[in-house]
Structure 1
Amino acid sequence: MRIAYLHGGGIPSCFANGVHVMRMCDAFTDAGHDVTLYSLPGSSSDEDPYEYYGVRHRFPIRLVPAPEDTPVGYLERGRAIRDLLATDGAPDVLYGRDPYGLAATADLAPFVYEVHQLRRDVPAGTTTALLGHPALARVVVVTHALARDLQDAHQSLGTLPIRVAPDCADPPRPGTTVDVPALPGRPDAPRIGYVGHLYDGRGIDLILDLAHRLPHFDFHLVGGTPEDRTRWESSGPPPNVHFHGHQRPSALPGYFPLFDVVLAPHQREVYTWDRLDEIGRWTSPMKLFEYMAHGRAIVASDLPVLREVLTDHVNCLLRPPDDPQSWADALTELVTDRALRTALGDEARRQFLEHYTWRRRADLVLADLDLPEPLNTR
């Protein structure tokens, strides 16, 4: 199948949406599909995107800039993608998270619209028009909570063709050489890891609280923009906290095995970059699945959306996001009970391999796809 993947963000970038998109294109290619990615240019033009993200396949990437950072500019970019598709040839399926690109090209081929939140940053009526478009083949969402809210928000359209497909990860590749970073801190101290952005609602203040409560543990935070890292480092964290900053996605497999326990301390309200959106009700954090892929023992927030994947004392320990002492107790229990730590990590990895690989997701979102005929051929 020829797939045109339309991405409204930049490649490469430090944002999670770029990881998601590159992993999905890689998985589609691995499944035998012919994929071309249409993306905004990223913030670093001298980075090889395939090496930066650590993908296996070098599928074509067409960088299409927007003339301005406004809805009008993104609509113009959508029309530019349409012109490229006319040159490249119409695909069998348009796939993407870019509502502007899909709106401009939806009459060229059936499309799959992937939704990660109820967006408030697009012109009124854009989402409704896409969900009601005759060329819509499927809507892909990352959580059951989002599926319910999306359907409720668009009841007038009838039953939407929604498929729930959580975010995923790639399993560690046998025989692949990974650079192992030299972590600062005390060589004999238990290492508690967090990988992800440092945005509001990600639980960074909870981690700093835990570091005060557990001075004999070292806490390592991997990720975050330079601005966010500076903000948290200037807040006066204790000396057993180490910020590592943003790392290339291809470098992250070197970090996970170094941590005794990993944290997913999401709060009830979770914000995206610059607090543009609040996504706590619907979030499906990719790093959670990377923790599972590496068989790490996880302590996570006991929230309904995370319970779609996690089960207390089965593949993790769940604790209330607003009870730091219960988190400190969970960390102490895992650090002192190696058998429990191993059992939780092993079960997390088993469930990951069965349900949460990118390749499985690529097959799932396209399975049994009933493709309507493109409008411009009718």
Structure 2
Amino acid sequence: MRIAYLHSGSIPSVYANGVHVMRMCDAFTDAGHEVVLYALAGTAPADDIHAYYGTRNRFEVHTVAQPATPGLGMWVRALRVRTELCRRGVPDVLYGRDPYALLACSDLAPLAYETHLMWQDRGIRAVERLLLRRANLRRVVFVSQALADDYRKSHPELAARRRVDLVTAHDCADPVPADGPVARLPGREQAVRIGYIGHLYPGRGTDVILALAGRLPEADFHLVGGTAEDRAHWESRSRLPNVYFHGHRPPAELPPYYRAFDIVLAPYQRRAYCAGGIGEISRWVSPMKLFEYMSYGKAVIASDLPVLREVLADGVNCLLCPPDSVADWERAVRRLTEDAALREALGTEARRQLEERYTWRARADRVLPAVQAPTRAGSR
């Protein structure tokens, strides 16, 4: 099928939504579909978008600008996307996370809407309500079961629509080779290397990691990611010699870091936010870094939050700790530091479950609506 992925964010960028979108387009292409991604112009430096993200396929990324018109910019851009779709050829399926563009184009082709949070902005909620009523809507994709449950409560009419499938599809990762380059990290050669990869926004647990580093001077802590501003904020608050901030790295450069760590952390707090503090997502979050940790067979320590228990099981594929109890996190780190066999067992099971349940390729098949591609002129 010909798929147009409608994205309201920038490509490339330093943000996780860009990684998610590029991974999905890559997986759609792996599945044999022809994909064009419509996005805003990039906010991160990259001469080659596909090399920056490390995609296997070179699907088309088409930039559609958004004017800086207060209150109207998103609508103007949505109409520009519609114009481009009509000019370049209407696809078989519209897929995406941009409710404005999906609504503006909803009469052109069957569509699937993916959502990662319940919007707080009244304007976006109004647009979404209209989108969810459109006749061409075929599928709504939720990134966690908790989010799906909340949508069913707030939009009971969705469950009553026979032609609309409601699908829960967690984030994913690609299976990776067991061997590969390993990052040469600063620090002590014999020290246990404890890693975190991701942003440093409020609610991501950076303060827990720094507190752990103070309690565990025998271990080295490595934080990879974060904007320059967030990194500077936390570096100014940490003078510990066993803490290393590596800053943002393009997604394609992350594999050697994953391989270098002995233990990895996902210390999500009870309140966690998107970039710029927009959207409190702790109830619904499905963090990509968690699945990437699993794909590398790493021993994971994660926050014991209900939404994470949709994927994680304490003592089976990870260790779970109360989000804000540094003492419990310290005990978990010490337990794994002293028990290499447990680290290996947790990591092996996590990788097995990832490869069985949570790959991007499997997700691509799960989220696409069953739409018969029309016969094109001149085709047989």
Whether the TM-score (by the shorter chain) exceeds 0.5 is yes
C-alpha separation between the residues in 2 aligned to 1:10 and 1:69? 18
C-alpha separation between the residues in 2 aligned to 1:45 and 1:243? 20
SS at match of 2:200: coil
C-alpha separation between the residues in 2 aligned to 1:226 and 1:181? 21
1:365 to 361, 364, 367: 367
CA contact (8 A) 2:35 2:59 kept: yes
Residue 28 of structure 2 is matched in structure 1 by: 28
SS at match of 1:94: strand
Residue 146 of structure 1 is matched in structure 2 by: 147
The letter of the residue matching 1:58 is R
What does 1:72-221 correspond to in 2, within 5 Å? 72-121=72-121, 122-159=123-160, 161-173=165-177, 178=181, 180-221=182-223
SS at match of 2:208: helix
Task: Find runs of 4+ consecutive structure 1 residues off by over 4 angstroms.
Answer: 370-373
Aligned length: 370
Residue 64 of structure 2 is matched in structure 1 by: 64
CA contact (8 A) 1:295 1:346 kept: yes
| Alpha-carbon shift at residue 371 of structure 1 (Å) | 6.8
1:249 to 241, 248, 251: 251
The letter of the residue matching 1:22 is M
CA contact (8 A) 1:27 1:358 kept: yes
Residue 323 of structure 1 is matched in structure 2 by: 325
CA contact (8 A) 2:46 2:52 kept: no
CA contact (8 A) 1:110 1:372 kept: no
C-alpha separation between the residues in 2 aligned to 1:201 and 1:69? 32
1:16-38 C-alpha deviation (Å, 9 max, x unpaired): 00000000000000000010000
Using the size of structure 1 for normalisation, the TM-score is: 0.94
C-alpha separation between the residues in 1 aligned to 2:109 and 2:197? 38
Gaps of 5+ in 1: 374-378
| Alpha-carbon shift at residue 47 of structure 1 (Å) | 2.7
Residue 304 of structure 1 is matched in structure 2 by: 306
CA contact (8 A) 1:137 1:372 kept: no
| Alpha-carbon shift at residue 237 of structure 1 (Å) | 4.1
C-alpha separation between the residues in 2 aligned to 1:7 and 1:132? 20
Residue 260 of structure 1 is matched in structure 2 by: 262
Distance 1:81 1:267, change over 3 A: same
The letter of the residue matching 1:36 is V
**Percent identity over the alignment?**
56
Residue 351 of structure 1 is matched in structure 2 by: 353
C-alpha separation between the residues in 2 aligned to 1:46 and 1:341? 37
1:148-203 C-alpha deviation (Å, 9 max, x unpaired): 1111111244446310000011112578x64x432111111100000000000001
1:265-297 C-alpha deviation (Å, 9 max, x unpaired): 001110111211110000000000000000000
CA contact (8 A) 2:171 2:286 kept: yes
1:305-360 C-alpha deviation (Å, 9 max, x unpaired): 00000000000001111211111111111111111000000000000000111001
C-alpha separation between the residues in 1 aligned to 2:44 and 2:215? 39
Gaps of 5+ in 2: 375-380
CA contact (8 A) 1:12 1:47 kept: no
What does 1:6-25 correspond to in 2, within 5 Å? 6-25=6-25
Distance 1:253 1:69, change over 3 A: farther
Distance 1:153 1:70, change over 3 A: farther
Superposed CA RMSD in Å reads 1.7
C-alpha separation between the residues in 2 aligned to 1:351 and 1:157? 31
SS at match of 1:125: helix
The letter of the residue matching 1:125 is A
The letter of the residue matching 1:223 is G
Residue 287 of structure 2 is matched in structure 1 by: 285
